[in-house]
């Protein structure tokens, strides 16, 4: 078989990898690798004259062997969408080749091919200097491109705001929040700053404190010291676990106020983490019998309609500035939707305040964090 010269996929030079906290970007690594074929402009058309080697084989199988730079699933999609012809006629996915056919392929880009490009976006930046950006992420914003969210992410907005972040791994992102969790994040603007912040995450000298509204009346204060692992049956969820794969997880909490929603008690809770496991606050409070209001994954399903997201806010962030070496901290204003939810519960939003943090290091437990809540 012969074919024209294949399209050249320009793999942009990638910055050196740094060791991010455990599991921090598990679900996006494959997407990141796939997107090395990103930033493509137009694919060149491909013309293939089949030979006897193709006799009796399905078209999609033949093409996946001839143009291995494209996945078979993508080729099948092109066939289905009419971007492949055989002897000038639209191809069919399961058609069997006889040999000597002229196959024309018009490659099409996939959404992930453009996932790592800049996009205009309003960012709520609380602080910015030559080394870091501290921003207040709104609910509903995905931090990093992944399956189902190849555009419109925080990463895309950061690349538009600061194009130089294209030279920093993951556009300077070192930790993330769930899509529906709002609040503070720090982004590194240089590789040196990112390396320093990652080390702070690993050493847990970076401090992050949260406000949550939960169903029920937990005791005034307490500590949940319960290892966590992937849920044994639902791989989307995390769970308190004693399995061999479970990692230490410690959450300190303090009840700030109580109220009622639809005649059911709710509590405003301040959470301080010793560890940063995936969904840690949501899982730990649910394990006590106090799920977050609005949490569709871990909460009470018949009460999900009360609030359209988990009532969780990354309210205060403290870190050692990677350039000055001084401890700095920021507080995020209470988002409007949570303020209205507290008012509905009869809780004064003015009570949703976390005092300034000490620059003394917090206690350290277990191994490095996962950093997703």
Q: Residue 112 — very low, low, confident or very high, per pLDDT cuts 50/70/90?
A: low
Please list the residues that pair with 319 across neighbouring strands. 328
CA atoms within 13 A on the CB side of 159: 21
At 4 the pLDDT is 39
Tell me: pLDDT of 208 over 80: yes
Q: Which of 5-19, 43-57, 131-145 is predicted most confidently?
A: 131-145
At 371 the pLDDT is 54
DSSP state of 146: B
CA-wise closest residue to 115 among 71, 77, 156, 170 = 156
At 147 the pLDDT is 77
At 5 the pLDDT is 37
DSSP state of 33: H
Tell me: pLDDT of 18 over 90: no
CB neighbours of 41 closer than 8 A, spacing ≥ 6? none
At 8 the pLDDT is 34
At 94 the pLDDT is 83
pLDDT digit string (tens) for 222-267? 999 999 999 999 988 999 999 999 999 999 999 999 999 999 999 9
In this structure, are residues 213 and 269 in contact, taking their beta carbons and an 8 Å threshold?
yes
pTM of the model: 0.72
At 343 the pLDDT is 97
DSSP state of 120: -
CA-wise closest residue to 231 among 239, 240, 223 = 239
Please list the residues that pair with 208 across neighbouring strands. 317
Which two tokens mark 237?
Answer: 């969820």
At 267 the pLDDT is 98
CA atoms within 13 A on the CB side of 105: 30
Name the more confident of 108 and 88: 88
Q: Residue 276 — very low, low, confident or very high, per pLDDT cuts 50/70/90?
A: confident
pLDDT digit string (tens) for 285-321? 999 999 999 999 999 888 888 999 999 999 999 999 9
The predicted model gives 64-75 an average pLDDT of 88
Tell me: pLDDT of 16 over 50: no
pLDDT-above-70 percentage for the chain = 83
- Average pLDDT over the chain, rounded to an integer: 85
At 204 the pLDDT is 82
pLDDT digit string (tens) for 162-191? 999 999 999 999 988 999 999 999 999 999
Please list the residues that pair with 215 across neighbouring strands. 266
Which two tokens mark 217?
Answer: 């009346």
The predicted model gives 121-131 an average pLDDT of 97
The predicted model gives 331-347 an average pLDDT of 97
Helix (H) or strand (E) holding 67: none
In this structure, are residues 294 and 308 in contact, taking their beta carbons and an 8 Å threshold?
yes
Cα separation of 97 and 4, whole Å? 19
Would you please indicate which residues are annotated as catalytic (active-site) residues? 178
Tell me: pLDDT of 98 over 60: yes
The predicted model gives 94-118 an average pLDDT of 84
Tell me: pLDDT of 41 over 80: no
Secondary structure class of 297 (helix, strand, coil): coil
In this structure, are residues 267 and 214 in contact, taking their beta carbons and an 8 Å threshold?
yes
Residue identified by tokens 């990463």 is 155
* Torsion angles phi and psi, residue 327, rounded to 5: -75, 130
* Torsion angles phi and psi, residue 103, rounded to 5: -110, 125
The predicted model gives 362-368 an average pLDDT of 51
The predicted model gives 64-69 an average pLDDT of 89
At 60 the pLDDT is 92
Number of other residues whose CB lies within 10 A of the CB of residue 30: 12
Cα–Cα distances in Å, from 213 out to 26, 136, 343?
A: 28, 19, 12
Tell me: pLDDT of 24 over 60: no
At 372 the pLDDT is 47
Tell me: pLDDT of 28 over 50: no
């Amino acid at each position: 078989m012969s074919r024209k010269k294949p399209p050249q996929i320009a793999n942009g030079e990638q910055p050196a990898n740094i060791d991010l906290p455990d599991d921090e970007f598990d679900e996006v690594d494959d997407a990141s690798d796939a997107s090395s074929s990103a930033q493509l402009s137009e694919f060149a058309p491909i013309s293939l004259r089949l030979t006897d080697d193709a006799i009796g084989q399905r078209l999609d199988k033949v093409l996946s062997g001839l143009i291995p730079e494209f996945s078979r699933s993508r080729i099948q999609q092109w066939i289905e969408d009419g971007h492949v012809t055989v002897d000038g006629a639209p191809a069919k996915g399961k058609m069997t080749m006889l040999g000597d056919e002229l196959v024309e392929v018009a490659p099409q880009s996939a959404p992930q091919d453009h996932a790592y490009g800049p996009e205009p976006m309003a960012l709520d930046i609380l602080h910015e200097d030559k080394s870091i950006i501290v921003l207040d992420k709104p609910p509903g914003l995905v931090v990093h491109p992944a399956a189902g969210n190849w555009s419109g992410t925080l990463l895309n907005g950061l690349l538009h705001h600061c194009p130089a972040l294209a030279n920093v791994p993951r556009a300077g992102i070192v930790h993330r929040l769930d899509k529906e969790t709002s609040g503070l994040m720090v982004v590194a603007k240089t590789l040196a700053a990112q390396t320093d912040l990652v080390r702070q995450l690993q050493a847990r000298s970076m401090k992050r404190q949260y406000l949550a509204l939960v169903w029920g009346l937990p005791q005034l204060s307490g500590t949940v010291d319960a290892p966590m692992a992937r849920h044994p049956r639902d791989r989307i969820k995390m769970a308190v676990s004693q399995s061999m794969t479970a990692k230490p997880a410690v959450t300190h909490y303090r009840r700030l106020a109580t109220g009622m929603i639809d005649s059911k008690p709710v509590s405003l809770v301040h959470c301080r983490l010793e560890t940063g496991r995936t969904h840690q606050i949501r899982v730990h409070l649910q394990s006590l019998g106090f799920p977050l209001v609005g949490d569709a994954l871990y909460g009470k399903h018949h009460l999900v309609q009360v609030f359209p997201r988990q009532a969780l806010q990354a309210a205060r962030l403290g870190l050692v500035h990677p350039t000055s070496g001084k401890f700095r901290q920021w507080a995020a204003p209470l988002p409007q939707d949570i303020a209205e939810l507290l008012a509905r519960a009869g809780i004064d939003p003015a009570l949703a305040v976390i005092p300034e943090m000490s620059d003394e290091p917090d206690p350290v437990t277990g191994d490095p964090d996962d950093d997703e809540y």
